Amino acid sequence: MIADETRLAIHGGTPAKQYPDPPMYPGGMAIDEEEEAAVLEVLRSKRLFRYYGPTPGPSKAEELEQAFAAAKGVGHALGVTSGTAALVCALHAIGVGPGDEVIIPAYTWIATATAVLAVGAVPIMAEVDESLLLDPTDFEAKISPYTKAVIAVHMRGAPCRMDAVIEAARRHGLKVVEDCAQANGATYQGREVGSWGDVGAYSLQFNKIVTSGEGGMVTTDSLELYQRAALFHDVNTSRHNLPEDKLLWGINFRMPELLAAVALVQMRKLGGLLDAMRARKRMLKAGMADVLAEKGLTFRTLHDEAGDAAIATILFMQTPQQAQAVSEALRAENIGAGVLYRPEARDYHIYAHWTPVMQQRAWSAGGNPWRWAQRPIEYRQDMCPRTLDLLGRAVHLNVSPLLSNEDVEETIEGVNRVLKALA
Ligand X SMILES: Cc1ncc(COP(=O)(O)O)c(C=O)c1O
Q: Which residues bind ligand X (CB under 6 A)?
A: 82-84, 108-109, 111-112, 153, 179, 181-182, 203, 205, 216
* Nearest residue to 129 via CA among 155, 147, 103, 94: 155
| 3 Cβ contact partners less than 8 Å away, ≥ 6 residues apart | 421, 422, 423
Helix, coil or strand: residue 247: coil
CA angle 80, 81, 82 (to 5 degrees): 100
**β-strand pairing of 147-153 with 101-105:** parallel
Helix, coil or strand: residue 137: helix
Catalytic residue, chosen from 17, 208, 269, 281, is: 208
Nearer to ligand X, 27 or 83 (CB): 83
Nearer to ligand X, 42 or 115 (CB): 115
Nearer to ligand X, 182 or 220 (CB): 182
Q: How far is the CB of 192 from ligand X (least distance, A)?
A: 17
Nearer to ligand X, 153 or 168 (CB): 153
Nearer to ligand X, 111 or 231 (CB): 111
Q: Is 285 a catalytic residue?
A: no
Nearer to ligand X, 61 or 317 (CB): 61
- Rounded to whole angstroms, how far apart are CA atoms 50 and 43? 13
With left for phi above 0 and alpha for psi between -120 and 50, is residue 17 left, alpha or beta?
Answer: beta
- List phi, psi (to 5°) of 98: -50, 135
CB 112 within 8 A of CB 119: no
Residue nearest to ligand X (CB): 83
* Nearest residue to 200 via CA among 148, 233, 158, 152: 152
Q: How far is the CB of 106 from ligand X (least distance, A)?
A: 12
* Nearest residue to 323 via CA among 311, 310, 341: 341
Q: How far is the CB of 112 from ligand X (least distance, A)?
A: 5
Q: How far is the CB of 83 from ligand X (least distance, A)?
A: 2
CB 107 within 8 A of CB 387: yes
Segment 34-42 long-range contacts (CB within 8 Å, at least 24 positions apart)? 34/265, 34/268, 35/261, 35/262, 35/265, 35/266, 38/261, 38/262, 38/264, 38/265, 39/258, 39/261, 39/262, 41/261, 42/257, 42/258, 42/261
Q: How far is the CB of 365 from ligand X (least distance, A)?
A: 27
Any idea what DSSP says for residue 85? H
Positions annotated as catalytic residues are: 208
